[in-house]
């Protein structure tokens, strides 16, 4: 068996086959690729730019992580202080710290990095699927991304999701080029990027199957060892730089509280498994990852299985456009049969590992952006099969192509409208009204009690977390240490407080209390109220 495999690899070595294919892609084919990439980049750039136009404020959700974790970490980096490395590796915080020197605005910095990362990932994804499979798969992967509300939303959101996705996609493209061109520089670059990806998110460990490529590419053992060493040396070079920086700055090398993300998912006392409330509920109960995994393995396994089934349904029907998911269901087998290359096997292995790893976290569609190109490529294979195999006659094929174009445009309109709605919610209207008023009333350096950091950020005040309390008496006792505080203390009750603290809805009625005095409120009704803590 092993001898037959070796013989087959020698007869059809991947490097030779792919290199010959690459030579054919010069000239007209390469020019058409370039034009398509440029047009795709232009369309995506205009779409994301339009989505971002009019965005004036952070809006919570994933941007709460940007405000509460990444900006403070970036500021510590810029001041030369030790990093905390609490939930995420440090690279994204370092990146926004460096880019902030250009924009001098954290919001614009985050939007720019996401916008640039989305354009870069389009290029990487197109080239990867073009080389590994074909034109239709590359087209499908691109349109899968462009038609995905999830991808569009996070391309115009200040978060690390697209930054990581661009690195993740570049790793596969460079690994493929390393096999195709048989050049050492691509192996080194691939190793560097795997290291950078790991310093961006812990789940980049799913990229480790790329280290198998030198061994399954039909190379002689000595050549495989050399290329494997190039990957390994460049990968550890990146980690060595971070180790040196961590040692010099007295920063922790490993992420400190990643195990609490797992604990929140499986052992949160309530239905909330992802917010700061859930984090506070499990903090102090688990010291490390082994504590979490060993706490109740049967419960963990049952919840994991339930989440896995839920994740499959959500990803197939909500992650991408229905047009793409429908075609992908039928086209997956065509895509696999057409793309039987070792690089694709490694890509599939890494993708499966990534899915299994991410499923340990409470579902969020942004975690699965890496699946969108695969769905799109499978859809492209199905459309190719329909148009070229089942409709060989030119006239029916033109009619069907026109019908697909109409579906494509309609799907694009629906996806764009959905993305625009998510990026411009009702909370944005609340901030447009409230921020000018509260900025004039809250002195810089004050303390602001709020569920999210957004209003505190824009008023240059220190946020005091608004905990999940049952009654006004509980709130009174929580604020008791601040009655005689030198700084002014305010409380903001708006959208997130109404949504997540409904038991204190009386605060939305702008009533004077014995410990809180209303100082400003919405003119539209019960949208928001600002209180000042009475001094004693």
Query: Quick one: tokens of 242?
Result: 């971070």
26 or 185, higher pLDDT: 185
pLDDT tens-digit series, residues 91-108:
999 999 999 999 999 999
Kind and range of the H or E element at 34? helix 28-52
Residue 198 banded pLDDT, cuts 50, 70, 90? very high
* 36, 66, 96, 118 from 106: Cα distances, Å: 33, 9, 8, 18
DSSP 160-178: SHHHHHHHHHHHHHHHHHH
Mean pLDDT confidence for 58-62: 88
Query: Distance between terminal CA atoms of the chain?
Result: 84
- Where on the phi/psi map is residue 218: left (φ > 0), alpha (ψ -120 to 50), or beta? left
Residue 30 banded pLDDT, cuts 50, 70, 90? low
Q: What is the pLDDT of residue 270?
A: 81
pLDDT tens-digit series, residues 63-73:
999 999 999 99
Lowest-pLDDT range, 130-134, 247-251, 366-370?
130-134
Query: Quick one: tokens of 169?
Result: 């996609």
- Which residues 6+ apart lie within 8 Å of 348 measured at CB? none
Q: φ and ψ at 529, to 5 degrees?
A: -145, 140
Strand boundaries in 350-486, DSSP class E: 447-450, 462-465
Helix runs in 255-296, H state only: 258-267, 276-282, 289-295
CA-based torsion, 55, 56, 59, 62: positive or negative: positive
Buried/exposed code over 101-117 (b: 16+ C-beta within 10 A; e: otherwise): eeeeebbbbbbbbbbbb
pLDDT tens-digit series, residues 440-467:
999 999 999 999 999 999 999 999 999 9
Residue 29 banded pLDDT, cuts 50, 70, 90? low
Mean pLDDT confidence for 32-48: 71
Q: Using CB atoms within 10 A of its CB, is residue 56 exposed (0-12), middle (13-18) or buried (19+)?
A: exposed
Q: What is the pLDDT of residue 6?
A: 43
pLDDT tens-digit series, residues 14-24:
333 333 333 34
Q: What is the largest CA-CA distance in the chain?
A: 87
Distance (Å, rounded) from C-alpha 394 to C-alpha 122?
Answer: 31
Provide the β-strand partners of residue 491: 449, 531
Q: What is the pLDDT of residue 7?
A: 42
Lowest-pLDDT range, 77-86, 293-302, 371-380, 477-486?
477-486
Distance (Å, rounded) from C-alpha 454 to C-alpha 433?
Answer: 14
Distance (Å, rounded) from C-alpha 90 to C-alpha 72?
Answer: 12
Distance (Å, rounded) from C-alpha 4 to C-alpha 10?
Answer: 10
pLDDT tens-digit series, residues 390-401:
666 666 777 777
Query: Quick one: tokens of 181?
Result: 């061109």
- Average pLDDT over the chain reads 88
Q: What is the pLDDT of residue 340?
A: 66
Distance (Å, rounded) from C-alpha 531 to C-alpha 81?
Answer: 35
Percent of the chain exceeding pLDDT 90 equals 62
Distance (Å, rounded) from C-alpha 431 to C-alpha 451?
Answer: 14
Helix axes 106-132, 91-103, angle to 10 degrees: 120
Q: Using CB atoms within 10 A of its CB, is residue 230 exposed (0-12), middle (13-18) or buried (19+)?
A: buried
Question: With 70 as the cut, is the pLDDT of residue 27 above it?
Answer: no
Q: φ and ψ at 488, to 5 degrees?
A: -70, 140
DSSP 318-341: IIS-HHHHHHHHHHHHHHHHHT--
Does residue 133 sit in helix, strand or coil? coil
Question: With 90 as the cut, is the pLDDT of residue 204 above it?
Answer: yes
Residue 505 banded pLDDT, cuts 50, 70, 90? very high
Q: What is the pLDDT of residue 392?
A: 62
Kind and range of the H or E element at 493? strand 489-493
Residue 43 banded pLDDT, cuts 50, 70, 90? confident
Cβ atoms within 10 Å, residue 524: 10
């Amino acid at each position: 068996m092993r001898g037959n495999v070796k013989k087959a690899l020698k007869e059809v070595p991947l490097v030779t086959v792919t290199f010959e294919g690459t030579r054919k892609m010069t000239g007209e084919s390469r020019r058409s690729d370039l034009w398509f990439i440029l047009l795709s980049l232009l369309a995506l750039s205009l779409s994301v730019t339009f989505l971002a136009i009019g965005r004036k404020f952070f809006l919570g959700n994933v941007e709460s992580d940007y405000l509460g974790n990444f900006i403070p970490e970036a500021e510590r980096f810029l001041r030369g202080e030790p990093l905390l490395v609490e939930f995420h590796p440090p690279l994204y915080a370092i990146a926004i710290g460096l880019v902030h020197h250009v924009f001098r605005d954290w919001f614009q910095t985050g939007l720019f990095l996401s916008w640039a990362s989305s354009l870069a990932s389009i290029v990487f994804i197109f080239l990867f699927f073009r080389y590994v499979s074909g034109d239709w798969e590359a087209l499908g992967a691109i349109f899968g991304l462009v038609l995905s509300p999830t991808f569009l939303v996070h391309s115009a959101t200040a978060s690390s999701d697209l930054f990581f996705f661009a690195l993740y996609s570049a790793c596969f493209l460079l690994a493929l080029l390393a096999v195709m061109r048989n050049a050492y520089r691509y192996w080194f670059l691939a190793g560097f990027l795997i290291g950078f990806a790991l310093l961006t998110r812990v789940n980049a460990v799913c990229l480790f199957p790329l280290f198998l490529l030198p061994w399954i590419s039909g190379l002689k053992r000595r050549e495989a060892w050399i290329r494997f060493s190039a990957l390994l040396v460049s990968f550890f070079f990146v980690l060595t730089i971070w180790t040196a920086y961590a040692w010099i700055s007295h920063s922790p090398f490993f992420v400190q509280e990643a195990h609490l993300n797992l604990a929140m998912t499986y052992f949160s006392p309530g239905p909330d498994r992802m917010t700061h409330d859930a984090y506070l509920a499990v903090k102090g109960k688990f010291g490390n990852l082994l504590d979490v995994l060993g706490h109740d393995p049967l419960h963990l396994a049952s919840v994991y299985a339930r989440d896995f089934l839920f994740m499959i349904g959500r990803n197939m029907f909500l992650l991408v456009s229905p047009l793409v998911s429908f075609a992908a269901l039928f086209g997956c087998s065509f895509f696999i049969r057409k793309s039987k290359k070792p690089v694709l096997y490694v890509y599939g292995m890494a993708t499966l590992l990534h899915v299994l790893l991410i499923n340990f976290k409470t579902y969020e569609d942004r975690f699965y952006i890496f699946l969108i190109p695969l769905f799109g490529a499978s859809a492209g294979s199905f459309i190719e099969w329909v148009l070229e195999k089942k409709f060989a006659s030119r006239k029916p094929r033109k009619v069907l192509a026109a019908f697909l174009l109409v579906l494509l445009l309609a799907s694009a309109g629906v996806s764009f409208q959905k993305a625009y709605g998510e990026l411009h919610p009702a909370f944005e209207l609340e901030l447009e009204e409230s921020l000018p008023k509260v900025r004039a009333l809250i002195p810089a350096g004050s303390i602001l009690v709020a569920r999210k950091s957004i209003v505190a950020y824009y008023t240059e005040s220190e946020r005091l977390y608004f905990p999940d309390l049952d009654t006004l008496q509980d709130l009174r006792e929580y604020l008791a240490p601040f009655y005689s505080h030198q700084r002014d203390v305010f409380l903001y009750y708006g959208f997130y407080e109404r949504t997540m603290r409904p038991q204190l809805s009386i605060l939305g009625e702008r009533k004077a209390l014995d410990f809180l005095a209303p100082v400003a409120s919405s003119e539209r009704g019960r949208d928001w109220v600002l209180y000042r803590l009475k001094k004693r």
